[in-house]
Structure 1
Amino acid sequence: MKTKAVRLYGAKDLRLEEFELPKIKQDEILVKIITDSVCMSSYKATILGENHKRVPKDIGENPIIMGHEFSGIIVEVGKVWQHQFKPGDKFAIQPALNYKGSMASPGYSYKNFGGACTYAIIPPEVMELGCLLPYKGEAFYEASLAEPMSCVIGAFHANYHTVTGKYEHVMGIVEGGNMALLAGCGPMGLGAIDYILHCDKRPRLLVVTDINEERIARAQTVFSKEEAKKNGIELIFVNTKNIENPSEYLRELTENEGYHDVFVYAPIQEVVEDGDKILARDGCLNFFAGPTDSNFSAQMNFYNVHYAATHVAGTSGGNTDDMKESLEMSARQAINPAVMITHIGGLNAAADTTLNLPNIPGGKKLIYTHIDMELTAIEEFANKAKIDGDPFFTEMAKIIKRHNGLWSLEAEKYLLENYKKTI
C-alpha cells in the first residue's frame, strides 16, 4: 500500500512524498485519512524539528508524518483487534498517548502514523490505550476537530475553585458566575464560546475580548446575543485595542466584582496580566495559550493570591474523556466545530500551510488529504467562482451561504463527491 504524506526531515524541512507502507502486523490497523486540521502545535514542531520534545533526533534519516487532528475510515484490521474494529468504521484519534511514560505522539513521532497523509498504520499502543475512538457522526471534519475541541473542554474541566475554610477544590467553572475569554476570537476561542453556550455548566456573564474588529465581527455573526440569552448567558464582545485601561473597563462590566473564570488565549504578557487584574475572589486564571518561549512569564498579584484566593490553572491538550465528550456533543449537534474553520485545502497545501500558519489570517485550516487544492478561504469561494467561472466553486459558494458562512456536512459531501482534482 502506497501513501502520500507530508514528512518532517528537520527544522522547517517539510516534504510531500509518496512511499510504500509496510504490510500491517497482527496488532496494527490500516486506515484511510480523510481530514486533518492544521494545529499551531504542528507549526512549533516544524520550526523546532529534532529539538522539539516529541520529535525523534534521527528524523533526517527516519522522517515522521505530520498532523495529529485527523479522522478517516478503517481499511484493514490486524487479527488482534478484529473483535473490536472492522473495515468501513469511521474513527477519530486521541493523539495524547502518554504510553508507558513515552512522549511519542502521532504527528510528531511516528514514521507511518500521522494525519497529513492518504493512508497510515495505527500502532498497537493506540488501541491499548483506548485512543482509537469510534465515530458515529457523518462529517469527517467534526471528528478531526474533536481534538482541538477536547483541548477547549479539558481546560474548562481543569479550572477549579475553593471552599472557604476547607481544603477542598471544586473542579470546573463557577456556574452562574462571570467569565472572560481574553484574545478569544481566534479558532480556539470560538470553539470555547460554542462549548460554553451549550455545555451543562454555564456562566451568567461571558465577556470575549480581541483587538481585531474583523474577528470580532465574525464571532458576533456566528454567536448572537439572542442565542446566548436563550441559554441563560449575557454575551458581550469587547475590542480592547483602543481602550486605555482594559482591565479597569472589564471589571466595570461586572460592577467591580471581577471574573470567577478567566481564560487567556494568547501568550502575551499584557493579556495575562490583565487576566490577573480582573479576577474575582477565588478567581481562576486558565493560561490556555502555549508559548514558544520557554522563559515566557508575566506578573501576578500575590497579595490577591494570599488574601483573595486567586489562582492559576493551565492545560496542554484534552484527555480521552474530553474527546468523547466532544464527539458526543458534535454527533447530537449540541456544538458545531465548523465555527473554527476558515480555510480548506488539499494535501498539496499542507506543508506550506503548516510552515506559514502564524501568517495566515483566520481560524482553522482544514486539509482534505485525497484532493489537490490550494489553501482557500471559505469566504473567497464566491470570488473564486466569479473569477474562474468554475461551476464547482459556484455551487460551493451557495452551500456556504446557506450555512451562515460556515463549513458544513453539505459542503464536505459536495467537495468529496464533486471535486475532480485528486492528489
Structure 2
Amino acid sequence: MSTQDGDHAVENRPAPLAGKQMRAVRFHGKEDLRFEEIEEPKCGPGQIKLVPAWCGICGSDLHEFQGGPNLCPTTPHPITGETVPLTFGHEFSGIIEELGEGVADKWKVGDRVVVQPIIYDGDCGACQDGLINCCYKNGFVGLSGWGGGLSQHVVVPEYAVYQLPDNVGLDVAALVEPLAVGWHAVSISPFKATDSALILGGGPIGLAVLQALRARGCPQIIVSEVSSMRKQYAKNFGAHVVLDPTQDDIVARCRELCPGGGVNVAFDCAGVQPGMDQAVLAIRARGTLINIAIWDKHAKVWPNDFNFKERGYMGVATYVKGDYQEVIDAIADGRLDMCHKMITKRIELDKVLEEGFRTLINDKDNQVKILVRGSGEM
C-alpha cells in the first residue's frame, strides 16, 4: 500500500497486534457474523489509530454475509496477507487517538476524520495511472483486512484519512463512502449539466447518484424503482419523475419525457436483467449506460442495441482519491444538503447482527442506511 508520497506499500502494513483486547464485529463465513473479543491493533510508522464514531452497513457487507465469502479473501490477500475471519466495516468516521512515527504535522490527537478504505499496491499499471480503485491487487479496509469500522479501535495508513470540516457531523461523515460511489460515477460519465438521466434502483447507491446529479443541476432525473417506500425516498431526494417498472413502460416514458429519443445517460444501480434491457433502449443515440451495480450472475447483452444507435457502456469501480474530498466539500457547502436523510436507523455495536444485518435483509424497503455507533461518538 503506497502513501500519497509514493512510499512503498510494505511500510504501511499494520504492525503486529498488541496484547490489549477490544470488541469487534467479525465475519467468519456465510451467515456467520460474531461480536467477539480480539487483540487491539498497534499503531506503527506512517499510520493513524482511530476510535470509530459511526459506521454504515453496506450492501457489500450483506452480500458477503448472505452468500460469501466472495470479496473477503479465503487465501492470503496479496497486500494485507489476511484471510477470513475479518473485521467488517468500510464506511466509517472516527476520532484520532494516536499518530504513528512519520505522520504529517497537520494531524493531531482528537481530530475528526473519515476513512477512504481502498487498499492498493501503488505499483501496478492502474495505480501508476492514478486509478487506485482499479488496482490489480486492490481490497478494502473492512473487507480485505487491516481491521474495520465495526470495532472499538482501528489502524489505517495516513493516506486513508481525511479531515472533516466543523459543520460536517461524524454521523453524516459515515455517508461519504457511499456518496463517493455515486459522485464518482457521475464524474467519469459523459453527463453534462444540460443532460437528462435515468437511475435504475432507489437504494443507497441510487440515491447517492441522484444527489450527485442534483448537485450538478441535472434538469431531468428519472428513477425506476419497484418498492413503494424507495419510490418515496427518490421523490424526497429530488427525483423529477419516479417510475415503477412493473406498471410503467420505462422506454416509452423516457422517450416521452426527454425529447430527442430518450435520456442521455442511464445509471444501473440495480443489477437485474430486465432493468438493463429497458435502460439500453431508453437511452438516446450516442447516450451511455453506466453500470455501478455488482451483479450476482452473468448478464446478457444484445450488441445490436448498442451498435445501431452508437450507444456506449461504461463500468464504474467505487472512486478515486479526489472524489472523497469533493464529496466532503459538497456536504460542507450544502450541495449535498439532503444526505443526512439517508440515515434511517442507528444501533449499537453489539446489536449489529440482529438490528443491523437482519433488519436490512428482512425490512430493506424501509431502510436506506443503518449506522452503527462506535466508541468515538458517545
The normalised TM-score by structure 1 is 0.73
After TM superposition, give the deviation of residue 26 of structure 1 in Å: 3.3
| Distance in 2, Cα, partners of 1:107 & 1:63 | 11
After TM superposition, give the deviation of residue 325 of structure 1 in Å: 0.7
Which residue of structure 2 lines up, in the alignment, with residue 311 of structure 1? 312
Which residue of structure 2 lines up, in the alignment, with residue 69 of structure 1? 91
Q: What SS is found at the alignment partner of 1:99?
A: coil
Q: Given that residues 146 and 326 in structure 1 are in contact (C-alpha distance below 8 angstroms), is that contact kept between their aligned partners in structure 2?
A: yes
Matches within 5 A, 1:138-153: 138-153=168-183
Which residue of structure 1 lines up, in the alignment, with residue 363 of structure 2? 360
Which residue of structure 1 lines up, in the alignment, with residue 153 of structure 2? 119
| Paired letter, 1:102 | K
For each residue in 1:9-38, what CA deviation from the matched residue of structure 2 results, as whole angstroms up to 9, or x when unmatched?
223221101233144333332210010000
| Paired letter, 2:243 | V
After TM superposition, give the deviation of residue 56 of structure 1 in Å: 4.1
For each residue in 1:137-176, what CA deviation from the matched residue of structure 2 results, as whole angstroms up to 9, or x when unmatched?
441122211110110011112213xxxxxxxxxxxx0331
Give identity over the alignment, percent.
21
For each residue in 1:76-113, what CA deviation from the matched residue of structure 2 results, as whole angstroms up to 9, or x when unmatched?
11122152421011111111222245323211122x52
Which residue of structure 2 lines up, in the alignment, with residue 83 of structure 1? 105
| Paired letter, 1:297 | A
After TM superposition, give the deviation of residue 342 of structure 1 in Å: 1.5
Range with greater deviation from structure 2 (53-62 or 346-355): 53-62
Structure 1 residue corresponding to 2:342, chosen from 340, 352, 367: 340
Matches within 5 A, 1:189-208: 189-199=206-216, 202-208=217-223
| Distance in 2, Cα, partners of 1:220 & 1:104 | 34
Q: What SS is found at the alignment partner of 1:249?
A: helix
- Kindly indicate which of the two structures has a greater share of residues assigned to helix: 1
Q: Structure 2 stretches of 5 or more lacking a match?
A: 1-19, 123-135
Which residue of structure 2 lines up, in the alignment, with residue 328 of structure 1? 329
For each residue in 1:312-371, what CA deviation from the matched residue of structure 2 results, as whole angstroms up to 9, or x when unmatched?
112121112111111111122221322322221111222342366333322111111249
| Paired letter, 1:148 | P
Which residue of structure 2 lines up, in the alignment, with residue 216 of structure 1? 231
Q: What SS is found at the alignment partner of 2:232?
A: helix
Q: What SS is found at the alignment partner of 2:319?
A: coil
Q: Given that residues 65 and 114 in structure 1 are in contact (C-alpha distance below 8 angstroms), is that contact kept between their aligned partners in structure 2?
A: yes
| Distance in 2, Cα, partners of 1:275 & 1:250 | 9
The normalised TM-score by structure 2 is 0.81
Structure 1 residue corresponding to 2:58, chosen from 12, 35, 39: 39
Q: Given that residues 209 and 240 in structure 1 are in contact (C-alpha distance below 8 angstroms), is that contact kept between their aligned partners in structure 2?
A: yes
| Distance in 2, Cα, partners of 1:340 & 1:298 | 32
Q: Given that residues 290 and 316 in structure 1 are in contact (C-alpha distance below 8 angstroms), is that contact kept between their aligned partners in structure 2?
A: no
For each residue in 1:271-329, what CA deviation from the matched residue of structure 2 results, as whole angstroms up to 9, or x when unmatched?
00000011111100011211222xx21333x3353342201112121112111111111
Aligned length: 337
Tell me if 1:182 matches 2:187: no
Q: Given that residues 94 and 319 in structure 1 are in contact (C-alpha distance below 8 angstroms), is that contact kept between their aligned partners in structure 2?
A: no
| Distance in 2, Cα, partners of 1:146 & 1:22 | 24
Which residue of structure 2 lines up, in the alignment, with residue 297 of structure 1? 299
Change (3 A) 1:276 1:80: same
Q: Given that residues 62 and 357 in structure 2 are in contact (C-alpha distance below 8 angstroms), is that contact kept between their aligned partners in structure 1?
A: yes
Q: Given that residues 121 and 137 in structure 2 are in contact (C-alpha distance below 8 angstroms), is that contact kept between their aligned partners in structure 1?
A: yes
| Distance in 1, Cα, partners of 2:256 & 2:245 | 14
Tell me if 1:136 matches 2:165: yes
Structure 1 residue corresponding to 2:267, chosen from 263, 269, 292: 263
Q: Given that residues 6 and 116 in structure 1 are in contact (C-alpha distance below 8 angstroms), is that contact kept between their aligned partners in structure 2?
A: yes
After TM superposition, give the deviation of residue 270 of structure 1 in Å: 0.4
Q: Given that residues 272 and 298 in structure 1 are in contact (C-alpha distance below 8 angstroms), is that contact kept between their aligned partners in structure 2?
A: no
Q: Given that residues 8 and 63 in structure 1 are in contact (C-alpha distance below 8 angstroms), is that contact kept between their aligned partners in structure 2?
A: yes
Q: Given that residues 71 and 143 in structure 2 are in contact (C-alpha distance below 8 angstroms), is that contact kept between their aligned partners in structure 1?
A: no
Change (3 A) 1:306 1:108: same
For each residue in 1:223-248, what CA deviation from the matched residue of structure 2 results, as whole angstroms up to 9, or x when unmatched?
3x7xxxxxxxxx222233223x3322
Q: Given that residues 187 and 339 in structure 1 are in contact (C-alpha distance below 8 angstroms), is that contact kept between their aligned partners in structure 2?
A: no
Tell me if 1:52 matches 2:80: no
Q: What CA RMSD, in Å, does the superposition of the two structures yield over aligned residues?
A: 2.5
Tell me if 1:239 matches 2:244: yes
Q: Given that residues 200 and 266 in structure 2 are in contact (C-alpha distance below 8 angstroms), is that contact kept between their aligned partners in structure 1?
A: yes
